[in-house]
Structure 1
């Protein structure tokens, strides 16, 4: 019996080509840092309460198999006692990725989990440098679990869709 394209010699399914991902470029797309503490002239020791919001976006580019993935951070630090804002940092960091051999049904999670993992160490360094250069101790971000972030967003969208259909 001859091997057909559908089977390997042992009757198993054919092997899929290995996933290829190349980072073609990465860059700060937009950034803003505001040292509100210095603007107000507040003196003395302040205990900060840092809040972090993370958003992700992925877009297909015109070139085949190329995608732009954007990691958006909004970091705000407030004084624990007074609630006064100390600083606000907004950062959009983008990467251009060449992604091949990822099945269509797995492309969306791949772009929003694996690609941000590649960008995150650079984002962490930028946040640390900007906060230090802005007059504060360097803010070293904890590692972000992009898989959990993706799952949470899927659950949020599903519940929003259910609520929308229930109200219709």
Structure 2
């Protein structure tokens, strides 16, 4: 359908539907980098071993992209890294960098930062989580099932602390 398209059926009244102006437009989603290390296989895959201790880190990066045709174009990269250890020995290390290219044509510039570091990661995280679960399963382990992430709270804790330190100076 186009931005404004007529919908009709035989004998029905003609209705015009206007597409809403969405705050952001997704241009591409992709795996930017992926890594899996299984340094002690096949010994680390034996049955009956204790469950490894997990350490998961999530980081975000956003940068503006230059484009002659698209205004306010950005790349947001969600990095999800997981390390499994058993008795101080690395069982596996998995990392996914999942990127999304978006434009924010209908968002005032002062709101770009929170949209890029809260709303875009909310869209990207389910994909990165699925890729990481498949990656760990393909490495011979149970799929790593990550719970939901509160990107809004992450944003507030990171940038509210920065604002507080700037105000105290």
Structure 1 length normalisation: TM-score?
A: 0.77
Distance in 2 of aligned mates of 1:21 and 1:88: 34
Classify the secondary structure of the residue corresponding to 2:40. helix
1:126 and 2:131 matched: yes
Relative distance call for 1:152 and 1:86 in structure 2 (3 A) is same
The Cα of 1:74 is off from its aligned counterpart by: 1.4
Partner of residue 70 from structure 1, selected from 60, 65, 77: 77
CA deviations over 1:22-68 (Å, ceiling 9, x no partner): 211111111111012316x3444121111111110111111222110
Q: Measure the CA separation in 2 of the matches of 1:35 and 1:162.
A: 46
2:102 corresponds in structure 1 to 97
Cα contact 2:28–2:102 (8 A) shared by 1: yes
Q: Structure 1 residue aligned with 2:148, among 143, 146, 159?
A: 143
Stretches of structure 2 lacking an aligned partner (at least 5 in a row): 1-19
State the SS of the aligned residue for 1:60: strand
Partner of 1:46: 50
Instruction: Please report how far the alpha carbon of residue 98 of structure 1 lies from its aligned counterpart in structure 2 after TM superposition.
Output: 2.1
1:29 to 29, 32, 42: 32
Q: Decide whether aligned partners of structure 1 residues 106 and 86 sit closer, same or farther in structure 2, where only a CA change above 3 A counts.
A: same
Q: Secondary structure at the match of 2:50?
A: coil
CA-based RMSD = 2.1
SS in 1 for 2:140: coil
The answer to whether the Cα contact below 8 Å between 1:93 and 1:123 also exists between their aligned partners in 2 is yes
Where structure 1 has 5 or more consecutive residues not aligned to the other structure, the ranges are 1-16
Q: Please give the secondary structure, in 1, of the residue aligned with 2:24.
A: strand
How many residues matched?
145
Given that 2:72 and 2:103 are in contact with CA atoms closer than 8 Å, whether structure 1 keeps it comes out as yes
Runs (4 or more) in structure 1 with deviation over 2 Å come to 17-20, 41-44, 155-163
Cα shift at 1:159: 6.1
TM-score between the two structures when normalised by the length of structure 2: 0.77
Contact 2:55 2:82 in 1 (8 A): yes
Alignment counterpart, residue 58 of structure 1, candidates 58, 62, 68: 62
